[in-house]
């Protein structure tokens, strides 16, 4: 979701910064960037160190996510270039779509609600549904199972190397999205989804 549907990194940074400051453990932007995209428990184990009890991680993580959702609703958010057109087009063509994210379910639902495209997705896989983060393929395999589609008939859209690695481990095709110079070893790489050819998804699966 983050980095493919929307760019909400600034919202995450502000939410983490304010939440950790309240805990008396301010973080630097470099610390945030080094952990962005990881599960909250993984992030907080690094930042809290010996203080990282399950109870504290749950409380701090919940506070951060609530602040994140408040910012998204108050300030709004836009989809990245080409995203809304592709999501609508694939939905109209009968493709089954899922969000497979390390984010909490409430975050995913908030983003889809603000973007007004909830009805385009048949399934959501969030942090609550998996035990292992990318590059483990679990999140994508769970998504395929929820959609009722074989992994080899799935295409993952990702902006991070770990996500592409997870897609490959799941036996899925992949589209890497990111700025020029970023190393994404995907089956197809573009800087933004509006650069995709009209038949890009069909071609990856060998559809006629």
Q: What is the tens place of the pLDDT at every residue in 84-106?
A: 999 999 999 999 999 999 889 99
Question: Tens digit of pLDDT for each residue in 35-68?
Answer: 887 788 889 999 999 999 999 999 999 999 999 9
Same domain, 61 and 95: no
| Region 1-10 average pLDDT | 92
Q: pLDDT value at position 72?
A: 96
- Residue appearing with tokens 């760019």: 7
Residues 202, 203, 204, 207, CA torsion sign? positive
Q: pLDDT value at position 134?
A: 87
Q: pLDDT value at position 179?
A: 83
Measure the CA–CA gap between 56 and 44, rounded to whole angstroms. 9
- The beta strand positions in the chain, using DSSP E, are 98-100, 123-125, 155-158, 173-177, 188-190
Which CATH number fits the domain that encloses residue 159?
A: 3.40.50.1000
Residue 74 has pLDDT above 80, yes or no: yes
Measure the CA–CA gap between 205 and 199, rounded to whole angstroms. 10
Measure the CA–CA gap between 40 and 48, rounded to whole angstroms. 11
Question: Tens digit of pLDDT for each residue in 116-148?
Answer: 999 999 999 998 999 988 899 999 999 999 999
Asked if residue 30 is part of any domain, the answer here is yes
pLDDT level of residue 181 (50, 70, 90 thresholds): low
pLDDT level of residue 188 (50, 70, 90 thresholds): very high
Same domain, 193 and 132: yes
Which CATH number fits the domain that encloses residue 15?
A: 1.10.150.240
Asked if residue 1 is part of any domain, the answer here is no
Same domain, 34 and 114: no
Residue 160's domain comprises 83-204
């Amino acid at each position: 979701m983050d980095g493919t549907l929307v760019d909400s990194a600034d919202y995450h940074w502000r939410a983490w910064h304010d939440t950790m400051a309240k805990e008396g453990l301010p973080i630097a932007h470099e610390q945030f960037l080094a952990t962005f995209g990881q599960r909250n428990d993984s992030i907080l184990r690094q930042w809290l160190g010996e203080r990282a009890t399950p109870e504290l991680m749950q409380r701090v993580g919940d506070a951060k996510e609530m602040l994140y959702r408040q910012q998204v609703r108050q300030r709004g958010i836009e989809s990245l270039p080409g995203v809304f057109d592709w999501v609508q087009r694939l939905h109209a063509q009968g493709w089954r779509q899922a969000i497979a994210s390390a984010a909490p379910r409430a975050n995913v639902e908030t983003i889809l609600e603000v973007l007004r495209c909830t009805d385009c997705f048949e399934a959501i896989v969030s942090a609550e549904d998996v035990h292992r983060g990318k590059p483990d393929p679990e999140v994508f395999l769970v998504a395929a199972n929820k959609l009722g589609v074989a992994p080899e008939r799935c295409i993952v859209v990702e902006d991070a190397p770990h996500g592409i690695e997870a897609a490959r481990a799941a036996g899925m095709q992949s589209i890497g999205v990111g700025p020029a110079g970023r190393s994404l070893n995907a089956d197809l790489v573009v800087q933004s989804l509006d650069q995709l050819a009209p038949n890009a998804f069909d071609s990856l699966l060998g559809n006629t």
